[in-house]
Each structure stands twice: as structure tokens, then as C-alpha cells.
Amino acid sequence: MPTRMIMLLLVAASSWVSPSWAQERWTTYTDNRGTRIEYPQDIFSERVGTQGGGEVFATRDGRARLHLFSMENPKRLSPREFLRSYFPASRSTLTYDRVARAFFAMSTRRDGMIVYLRCNFSSVRGGMLHCADIRYPINEKRNWDGIVTRISRSVRPLPM
């Protein structure tokens, strides 16, 4: 098979297997509590409703969902203290776990899905947490890696 034909097949196969997040239309979610998060509106195109201080979006076929929200941190706990208080289960059950000075991110596998949560802590806005909860099929992990990374890195409190 000629090299050009192989290259065309590889490009076609890779675009079919992995959604190209760079080509998707991204928009910015904001709320009245100071949360700012970018997400691909072409992928999470269905607004499911509100839940726990935020908005829930899903893919057209319902196989993945995105919950963007904020919540209060009245005790102004650090990310490490917050996890200790509100997620007392052993962190050894997590597949990914990162705690930094101003955020935490973690993921686990449950019922055939990857559940990823990132919360950024705002010291400026009364100790609010600004979070993205993303759930998608385990067998599509590689396809979602770029999307999840971009959403996660965009989680920010709005400047005052």
C-alpha cells in the first residue's frame, strides 16, 4: 500500500477514534459565585439542569456528563484539609490524586466510568471552591484525556 494511502488511513482512524478537542467550539461557564470554567459546548451540548450550586451538561447520547459548580468553604480549609474532612475514604482507591496549595484533583473508576473532580480554592471570594466534575466511559479514556486536561486547567475563580 502506498505511503500516502497509509497516512490518510491513519489520519482518518485517529480522528474517528479521538475527538479533536482543539477543533471543538469552547465556551466559558461563569456563575454568580465567581466560577469560570471553559468547556467544549459541541461535546457537552445538552443542558441537563442544575445541581448543587451549578449546571450539569451531557453529551447528546448521554454517555458523558459535566457538572460545573461552586461551593462554600466556610472554615477556609486548605485542599488537603478539605479532602481529609469531606472525603474520608482511603485515597488508595483513587486512580489519580493531586493536592496542591490552591487545588485538588482526583479520579476514580466506578460502574464503567471514570469520575474526575477538580476544585480550585479561592482565598479572595470568601473561601469558595470552584469545581468541575467530569464523568465518561473508561473505554474512551484516551479520547477524553485532552478534553479533561483542558477543562481542568481552565477552572478559575473570576477576578474581583
Q: Could you state, in chain order, the average pLDDT of each consecutive group of 10 residues for the chain (160 residues)?
A: 35 38 79 93 94 92 96 90 83 88 94 96 79 97 96 86
CA dist 157 and 70 (Å) reads 9
| Domain annotation covers residue 144 | yes
| Domain annotation covers residue 6 | no
Question: What backbone phi and psi angles, to 5 degrees, belong to 152?
Answer: -60, -45
Q: Domains in the chain: how many in total? A: 1
| Domain annotation covers residue 64 | yes
Count Cβ atoms within 10 A of the Cβ of residue 122 and give its class: 0-12 exposed, 13-18 middle, 19 or more buried.
buried
Residue 44: give its domain's CATH number: 3.40.1000.10
| Domain annotation covers residue 8 | no
Handedness of CA 142, 146, 147, 151 (dihedral sign): positive
| Domain annotation covers residue 52 | yes
| Domain annotation covers residue 59 | yes
Q: Which domain holds residue 103?
A: 21-157
| Domain annotation covers residue 26 | yes
| Domain annotation covers residue 16 | no
Q: Is 144 helix (H, G, I), strand (E, B) or coil?
A: helix
The reported pTM is 0.81
